[in-house]
Amino acid sequence: MVIPGGIGVAAIVLAAVLLIGVVVGRSRGRFLLLLGGLVAIGVAGVVIAYTGGTADKAAAMVRFYSIVVPVGAAFLAGWLCARGSLFKRLVVIAAAAILVAVFPFDAAGKASANVVGAVPTQGR
Q: What's the pLDDT score for residue 112?
A: 84
Neighbours of 80 (CB within 10 A): 20
In what helix (H) or strand (E) does residue 70 lie, and over which residues does it extend? Answer: helix 57-81
Distance (Å, whole) CA 27 – CA 46: 27
Question: What are the domain boundaries of the chain?
Answer: 12-17+57-113
**Band of residue 33 on the pLDDT scale cut at 50, 70, 90:** very high
Neighbours of 97 (CB within 10 A): 15
Q: What is the pLDDT of residues 42-76, one digit of tens each?
A: 999 989 888 876 677 778 888 888 889 999 999 99
Residue 105 C-alpha from the chain's centroid: 11
